[in-house]
Amino acid sequence: MGATADAPAPLDAATLRRRVFGLAWPVIGENFLETLLGIIDTLLVAGLGAVAIAGVGSALQVMFFLISALSALAVGSAVLVAQAIGARDPLRAGNLARQSLIWSVLLSIPLAIGGYLLSGPVISIFGLEPAVARIGVQYMQVTMGTVVVLVALFIGGGVLRGAGDSRTPMLVTALANVVNVGLAYSLIYGHFGLPALGPVGSAWATFLARALALLLLVGVLWRGRNGVSIGGHGSWLPDLKVARQVLQIGVPAALEQVLVSGAFLALSMVVARLGTEMLAAHRVTFNALSLSFLPGIGFGIAATALVGQSVGAQRIGEGGAAARVATIWAVAWMSAIAALLFIFAPQVLHLFTSDQAVVSAGASGLRIVALAQPFWAVMFVQSGALRGAGNTQFPLMVSGVGIWLAVGLAFALIETIGGGLASVWAAFLIVSPAMALLMWRRFRRTVAAGG
């Protein structure tokens, strides 16, 4: 795709910093809101007792695995839309957005049917007590049966971010979360004239809130945002060529998330061998990580959008500059969080549990995790930059191999020298610098080669 005569002038450093931060902070805020919502939902369900928590938790464990893969499919739409915006081709950007939404519906219908029918067999894998399994199946059936809305929501948000608008998805998420909390409280316990559905009320509340968010996002895209509109001229018939283009980028990103999620699931099995306190400390450490990763995720998504736009404009050097700025910000933020985690590890663990045995078991591991944060910051942003350039295969290989290598090393360390969670997370500290270096070198070569 050739550069156009009316291509914009190169961005100065100050403007570039503003664009990077302007794209990143709404993503950070959106993910923080989602994390907070998960905590609130758990507290609401907790009022029904341990059986309800266990049942919903088993279904959510499956859904988190699936959601990580489905959300990654939005990468394909985001990258292609960003490249079309960079090439000053709004008609192509609008057609990509329209086709992405169409295919999200077509692909998710069989997923919804299959997920609904297989909810029972999937939940049975956990070997739960009958009362717990029943709740898990009911929750998963509602969530899987309504997965069409979830997939379309991911795609709509990805399209807007690719167009350089991460603020709208954040605002929509904020509104949907408020609605979700109110509906969950009402549908779980039967307030304000609504039926008391028990634990499954949380699933219905989440679906209704997501449906509202999707309607709002579709409305924004219909009116148009940053040159992208699905309401203009163009066909609403499915286009296989566009589907292949989106999936060619999105499927490796989704497979990467599946491998990473599977590796962390295997890691939990490894830690479970160490006893209940170690497993509890491990899960608390993950809660802390979910917050510390937010800056890396935000700046990584900003790098994807800006590098994609630079590729479309045939100015990959500008994308390289944006990636450098995003990497510096991510390393600075995550290093600051790392310092807090290292210094206040016991106090951080006490925020999640009052069990001193769990705190003692987890403090050393959390400090090791803190040391890995700068390397993970580099990985988040440089892999995001590679995706923006249309290369999702390399992050798949590095992350897939690296994460499983770390899990294998953790198992070997525990079996040979012991050390508890310190050895588990030391394995990741050993592997992560190499993963960060590989991502950084590959993107630098991409910039040097001109995209």
pLDDT for the residue numbered 9:
52
Pick from 56, 68, 59, 72: nearest CA to 118: 59
pLDDT for the residue numbered 318:
92
pLDDT for the residue numbered 5:
39
* Over residues 288-300, mean pLDDT: 88
| pLDDT of 446 over the 90 cut | yes
Distance, CA of 167 to CA of 78 (rounded, Å): 15
pLDDT for the residue numbered 196:
92
Pick from 439, 413, 433, 432: nearest CA to 424: 413
Distance, CA of 401 to CA of 204 (rounded, Å): 38
Instruction: Kindly report which listed range (41-55, 174-188, 357-371) carries the lowest average pLDDT score.
Output: 41-55
- Is the Cβ–Cβ distance between 444 and 388 less than 8 Å? no
Distance, CA of 364 to CA of 341 (rounded, Å): 11
pLDDT for the residue numbered 185:
93
| pLDDT of 2 over the 50 cut | no
Measured CA to CA in angstroms, residue 131 lies from 46, 55, 393, 420 at distances of 15, 8, 43, 34
Q: Taking the CB of residue 286, how many other CB atoms lie within 10 A of it?
A: 14
| DSSP-based three-state secondary structure for 182 | helix
Q: Taking the CB of residue 6, how many other CB atoms lie within 10 A of it?
A: 6
* Over residues 166-176, mean pLDDT: 93
Grade residue 409 by pLDDT with cuts at 50, 70 and 90: very high
First-to-final CA distance of the chain = 12
* Over residues 367-384, mean pLDDT: 95
| pLDDT of 7 over the 50 cut | no
φ/ψ of 353, rounded to 5, equals -155, 150
Encode pLDDT of 211-228 as tens digits. 999 999 999 999 998 889
| DSSP-based three-state secondary structure for 24 | helix
Contacts of 127 (CB under 8 A, 6+ apart): none
| pLDDT of 49 over the 70 cut | yes
HSE of 251, CA atoms in CB hemisphere, 13 A: 7
- Number of helices followed by number of strands (H, E) in the chain: 16, 0
Encode pLDDT of 218-268 as tens digits. 999 999 988 899 987 778 899 999 889 998 998 898 899 889 888 888 888
Instruction: Give the pair of three-digit tokens for residue 179.
Output: 């609605």
- Is the Cβ–Cβ distance between 108 and 144 less than 8 Å? no
Instruction: Give the pair of three-digit tokens for residue 164.
Output: 């350089």
* Average pLDDT of every residue of the chain: 88
Encode pLDDT of 319-340 as tens digits. 999 999 999 999 999 999 999 9
| pLDDT of 390 over the 70 cut | yes
Q: What angle do CA 1, 397, 27 make, to 5 degrees?
A: 65
Pick from 289, 267, 288, 275: nearest CA to 380: 289
Pick from 263, 197, 265, 211: nearest CA to 48: 197
Distance, CA of 357 to CA of 321 (rounded, Å): 47
φ/ψ of 200, rounded to 5, equals -65, -15
Distance, CA of 318 to CA of 322 (rounded, Å): 6
Q: Tell me the percentage of the chain whose pLDDT exceeds 70.
A: 97
- Is the Cβ–Cβ distance between 24 and 299 less than 8 Å? yes
- Is the Cβ–Cβ distance between 83 and 311 less than 8 Å? yes
pLDDT winner (highest mean) among 30-39, 73-82, 282-291, 298-307: 298-307
pLDDT for the residue numbered 361:
80
Encode pLDDT of 100-130 as tens digits. 999 989 988 998 899 899 999 988 887 778 8
Instruction: Kindly report which listed range (209-213, 322-326, 417-421, 430-434) carries the lowest average pLDDT score.
Output: 417-421
Grade residue 438 by pLDDT with cuts at 50, 70 and 90: very high
| pLDDT of 1 over the 70 cut | no
- Is the Cβ–Cβ distance between 185 and 191 less than 8 Å? yes
Distance, CA of 444 to CA of 112 (rounded, Å): 41
Encode pLDDT of 359-374 as tens digits. 888 888 889 989 999 9
Distance, CA of 177 to CA of 37 (rounded, Å): 6
Distance, CA of 110 to CA of 156 (rounded, Å): 20
What is the per-residue DSSP string for 153-167?
A: HHHHHHHHHHTT--H
